[in-house]
Structure 1
Amino acid sequence: MFWDLLVLVFYFIIVFYFGFHFAKTNQKEEDFYLAKKEIHWFFLLLSLVATETSSLTFLSIPSLSFKGDYRFLEIALGYLIGRTIVALYLLPSYFSGNTISVYEYVGNRFGKSPQKTLSLVFTVSRLLGDGIRLYVSSLPIAFLLERMGLNLSPEILGMIALTILSIVTIIYSVVGGFRAIVFTDVLQWFIYIFGGIFALGLLVDKLDISIWEGIKNLQTSQKLNLFVFDYLPSGDNSYFILFALIGGAFISIGSHGTDLMLVQRVIATKNLASGQKILIGSGIVVLVQFILFLCIGSLLYLFYSGQTMAPDKVFSQFIVAEVPSPLLGILVAAILASAMSTLSSTINSLSLTWARDWGMDRWFSPRTLSLFFGLTLFISSLVPYFLIQTWEKGILEMGLTIFSYTLGPSIAVFFLAKGKAELPVSGLVFSVFFLTSILSTVAIGLGFQISFTLLIPIGFGIQIFLVQISRLAFKKN
């Protein structure tokens, strides 16, 4: 355990170095949020991938192939389609002006009310979703502390882990700004990819059967199926090939075309061509990542063959039970890397949207805003510890699905802004339409148990419908 802790301490020292090394370069607001657009597009590409790869992705994707097959790759192919659409259709507009926040683009077209509404929805979504991701990311550190023999309750150990994780991330985010975050993301990407490859190799080494025999067993068990062509009239069709591709494309259009945290990495490059390389290239890298994580799940299925295991915890249990010291420290560092890259980016992007979309830069410096949102995220990550089990499960599910409810209407707003037609209503009424679309999507999704791959297209359609109805009504008048 001593060597595992030493690995983690060394990892934290490197992260601190990046934060303080780049602190001197953050003289102005554009430096702190976009690094003067001086960072090479390839580093921004890896930063984008690291940012969207949370610890939930690292720990949970293997569970999909452990309990099922490879059909999740259908959605990943949809991701690639969606990013291509953003790169060719939406991205040119973001580079045509001199905006730092992507919501400023909407504000320039439709006024301050829609701009602030988008920013507010983004803020709530990130505080809830990423606060929960931070909570989940603390669990492996709590396991490590428990293995060291600390006689404390799991809740106390989890809070200690959260505190350590939050302090380190907040410090390098606040001190180093966007430039430090990007290069730390790159480091963290290499760490968690190494961790994934190491876990895959360790599983291969521990299996008592040959690779070819393992593949044969997986084929016999139908664990290598990829495409789902059968539509079930009364079943879950989330992975029906058409729905999966469309849903994946819409998810990616929403996340990489309208979510400030991810778009920030794209518009931080020097020109449109570089931004397009970042978007499309990141889709390819993410697809390869998913293949790696799903392969881990398949080998976990073979490794635990005949045993009853909770799919969502199987990878975490393998790490804690089977990985020897000091390699356990490396894998825990990989989990931390995937969590911290998302958390640091959230802190920076929340600071950015409130500085520019709400005008808080008139009163507060970028570092002050970043510190505030870092502490707010830390507090939100503690909430699950104080809820009864039933409520905790509910808020976890809401935190993980809330983006599906908000991205559809957000995409519609940006597509309307891209068009030449003016709004038939005021910006305030348009904001009401936007919030109504989100609430309607939530009601439809929960009421009719809609496949998650269809939630975003539904939200998109509702927002467009409301605008078109108001346009027809005003024509008649």
Structure 2
Amino acid sequence: MLPVVDLAIIICYLIGMILVGFYFSRKNDSSDQYSKASGSIPGWAIGLSIYATFLSSNTFLGVPGKAFGTNWNAFVFSLSMPLAAWVAAKYFVPFYRNTGQISAYTHLEKRFGPWARTYVVVCFLFTQLARMGSVFFGIALSLQALTGFSMQIIMVVMGISIIIYTVLGGIKAVIWTEVVQGIIKTLGAILIIYLIVTNMPGGVSKIIDIGNSAHKFSLGSFKPDFTKSTFWVVLLYGFFINLNNFGMDQNYVQRYHTAKSSKAASRSVWLCVLIYVPASFLFFIIGSCLYAYYSVHPELIEVIKHQAAIERLPVNATAAQIANMAAHLQPADYGDKVMPHFMVTKIPAGLVGLIVSAILSAAMSTISSGMNSSATVFTVDIYKRYFKPGVNERQTLNLLHIATVIFGILGMGTGIAMIGVKSILDIWWQLSGIFAAGMLGLFLLGIISKQTRNHEALIASIIGGIIILWMTFPNIIPAEYPALRSSLHTNMIIVVGSLSIFLIGILLTRLRKSTSSTAAS
């Protein structure tokens, strides 16, 4: 169990976040204020807010676990961000600011019809559930090791706290708490690196020597192989997923509307990138430092492997079965558990509470943002569009509150369902790539190809959806036809899926124009 002082720090942090919600609830008397803060947020605060959303507990726990278990291949994701940010700042931000629509998906109905808007909204909501679920799971994994409470109880307590301040404070509370949380989690990462290095025999030079000998600093193979997680696979995945984040994700698009001007909104995107890239680098350093530390303390690894084996086996597993499972586990199988173990055993009382608060902030910023944006999309794109278009201002605000609570509960349920997964980062990357592929492909088709019509976009989306399913579930192809199964890495789903929808739509448009020209002549 955590010492009383650490528990007190964590409780004070949770209460503080709830009080922030109460503070901003005084001014949330309209849906515009609740969803857009009436365009009153400065650009620097929005940039820190977007950064905090990116830097979730998937980063705080998943990235060190990934670096511990493999190498720095996943850091290529961060390196892809500047190009995606350039596209977003130049084209997407002005586009959304000019439309004036709070939902990122309203314009798709104007381009291709109701089906396009509904399709993308469903993909977005599934993406948010996956994101919130993986973040709930990640924080519960860490706090279970620290407190001894069950993961389910941790998720419920944290979920209730997030729901309260998000429902009360709206987007304003989300953004300003994320500004604080972004600072806390960055300082927490620096503190963890300091504590590992000071506990490491030989210090920094020893960490570098061990990392070099184990190839821990590698960015992955540079071979043009798209069946494995090479440098190029992660680079392409990162560019497409970040293009989706900045261009299609309601979490970010909604923040563009809270800015005072288009220029301030564009600057917020660049501020996020300028902070996130070096900040994510810190978490890869943490993973490499932990690998070096546990390499010189192999007896501690056995404890972690034993605990990981227990969680993977049924409750009635024998000691022999647990020992056999533990013996076969590889670093990638228990990487997510290493940092929580270090926190429990090596970080002094008082500092643990601060670091846990940093991890909590990483989780809460992402979940609160997901709840608010999901509630906004559901209200605007589903309820008002299909059920009750004429709802008044008070009814809209009440609906936003109810939807926020419901999506918070669904996020908790998704997190509980994820208990037992191998890697937080892997499961999040895979799910986000699957759901985002259809969104991004259709969005690019609508914004770039002005002459593509409704039926052409629909056919392209259907074919693209089939390709996404084919890559997601390769085993649907009978075993006697192995050549027909997809051998591409799962991170390529968003790349191939998005390009399929976009290029097929372009091809169908050109075929129509060519046929029309031939008939006219």
TM-score (norm 1): 0.88
1:438 matched to 2:428? The reply is: no
* Counterpart-to-counterpart distance in 2, 1:63 and 1:33: 35
Aligned to 2:290: 300
Within a 5 Å distance, the mapping from 1:31-46 to structure 2 comes to 31-46=33-48
* Higher mean displacement: 120-129 or 10-19: 120-129
Q: Deviations over 1:184-205 (max 9, x none)?
A: 1111111211211111110111
- Which residue in 2 is equivalent to 1:135? 137
| Partner residue, 2:357 | 333
Q: How does 1:226-305 map to 2 (within 5 A)?
A: 226=219, 228-232=221-225, 236=228, 238-240=229-231, 242-305=232-295
Q: Which amino acid aligns with 1:259?
A: D
1:17 aligns with: 19
- Pair 1:365 & 2:377 matched: no
Shift of 1:223: 2.3
Which residue of 2 is the match for residue 471 of structure 1?
Answer: 509
- SS of residue in 2 equivalent to 1:245: helix
1-structure distance, mates of 2:359, 2:278: 18
- Distance, in Å, in 2 between the alignment partners of 1:456 and 1:380 is 23
Secondary structure of the 2:98 match is coil
2:223 and 2:230 in contact (8 A); partners too: no
Q: Are 2:339 and 1:315 aligned?
A: yes
Specify the code of the residue in structure 2 equivalent to 1:12: L
Q: Is the Cα–Cα contact under 8 Å of residues 94 and 105 in structure 1 kept in the other structure? A: no
* Structure 1 contact 352–366 (Cα < 8 Å) conserved: no
| Distance in 2 of aligned mates of 1:394 and 1:302 | 20
SS in 1 for 2:99: coil
Instruction: Please give the per-residue CA displacement for 1:27-61, whole angstroms capped at 9, x wherever unaligned.
Output: 22111111111111111111111112221211010
Please give the root-mean-square deviation of Cα atoms over the aligned residues, in Å: 2.7
2:215 maps to 1:222: yes
Query: What residue identity is the alignment partner of 1:374?
Result: V
The answer to whether the 8 A contact 1:90-1:418 is kept is no
* Cα deviation digits, residues 443-468 of structure 1 (max 9, x gap): 12442242244222201221124323
**Counterparts of 2:39 and 2:337 in 1: how far apart (Å)?**
41
Decide which of 343, 348, 352 is 2:367's aligned counterpart.
343
Change (3 A) 1:396 1:55: closer
Q: Distance in 2 between matches of 1:439 and 1:329?
A: 48
Distance, in Å, in 2 between the alignment partners of 1:17 and 1:205 is 36
Amino acid of the residue matched to residue 409 of structure 2? Answer: F
Encode CA deviations 1:62-98: one digit per residue, 9 max, x unaligned: 1232233323222211122111112112222112222
Q: Identify if the C-alpha distance between structure 1 residues 232 and 259 changes in structure 2 by more than 3 Å, giving closer, same or farther.
A: closer
Report the equivalent of 2:412.
381
Instruction: Name the count of aligned residue pairs.
Output: 461
Partner of 1:74: 76
* CA–CA separation in structure 1 for the residues paired with 2:125 and 2:21: 24
| Residue 431 (structure 2) pairs with residue 402 (structure 1) | yes
SS of match in other structure, 1:6? helix
Partner residue in 1 for 2:56: 54
Distance verdict in 2 for CA 1:169–1:445, change over 3 Å: same
- The one-letter code of the counterpart of 1:333 is S
- 1:283-328 Cα shifts (integer Å, max 9, x gaps): 2211111110011111111110152462221112212222222211
**Residues 422 and 472 of structure 1: CA distance in aligned 2, closer, same or farther (over 3 Å):** closer
Q: Deviation at 1:10?
A: 1.0
Is residue 2:167 matched to residue 1:184?
no
Judged with a 3 Å threshold, the aligned counterparts in structure 2 of structure 1 residues 203 and 354 are, in CA distance, closer, same or farther, namely same
Residue matched to 1:355 = 379
Determine which structure has more spread, i.e. the larger CA radius of gyration.
2
Query: Which range moves more in the overlay, 244-253 or 66-75?
Result: 66-75
Amino acid across the alignment from 2:230: Y
Structure 1 residues 436 and 53, CA, compared in 2 at 3 Å: closer, same or farther? farther
In the alignment, which residue of structure 1 is the partner of 2:313?
none
Q: Once the 2 structures are TM-superposed, how far is the Cα of residue 263 of structure 1 from its aligned partner? A: 1.9
SS of equivalent residue, structure 2 residue 454: coil
Name the SS of the counterpart of 1:175 in structure 2.
helix
Residue pairs, 1:100-115, within 5 angstroms? 100-115=102-117
Instruction: Pick which of 182-191 and 405-414 moved more.
Output: 405-414
Does the CA-based 8 Å contact 1:83-1:280 persist in structure 2? yes
Q: 2:450, 2:85 → 1: CA distance?
A: 25
1:91-130 maps to which residues of 2 (within 5 A)? 91-130=93-132
Check if 1:461 corresponds to 2:495: no
TM-score of the aligned structures, taking structure 2 as reference length: 0.81
Partners of 2:417 and 2:93 lie apart in 1 by 42
Correspondence list, 1:134-213, <5 A = 134-146=136-148, 157-213=150-206
- The one-letter code sitting in structure 1 at the alignment partner of 2:452 is L
Cα distance change, pair 351–51 in 1 and its aligned pair in 2 (3 A): same
Equivalent position of 1:421 in the other structure: 450
Change (3 A) 1:183 1:394: closer
1:134/1:435 CA distance change after superposition, 3 Å? farther
Q: Deviations over 1:181-235 (max 9, x none)?
A: 10011111112112111111101110111323432332333322346423458x6
Q: State the match for 1:149 in structure 2.
A: none
CA–CA distance in structure 1, aligned partners of residues 146 and 427 of structure 2: 28
The CA distance in 1 between the partners of 2:83 and 2:341, in whole Å, is 35
Deviations 1:97-136 (A, max 9, x none): 2211111232333333312221121112212331232133
Of 64-73 and 325-334, deviating more is 64-73
Structure 1: runs of 5 or more not aligned: 147-153
Q: What is the letter of the counterpart of residue 153 of structure 2?
A: I
CA 66–113 in structure 1, closer or farther in 2 if over 3 Å, else same: same
Taking a change above 3 Å as real, the CA distance of residues 400 and 378 of structure 1, as seen in their structure-2 partners, is: farther
Identity score, percent = 24
Letter in 2 for 1:167: I
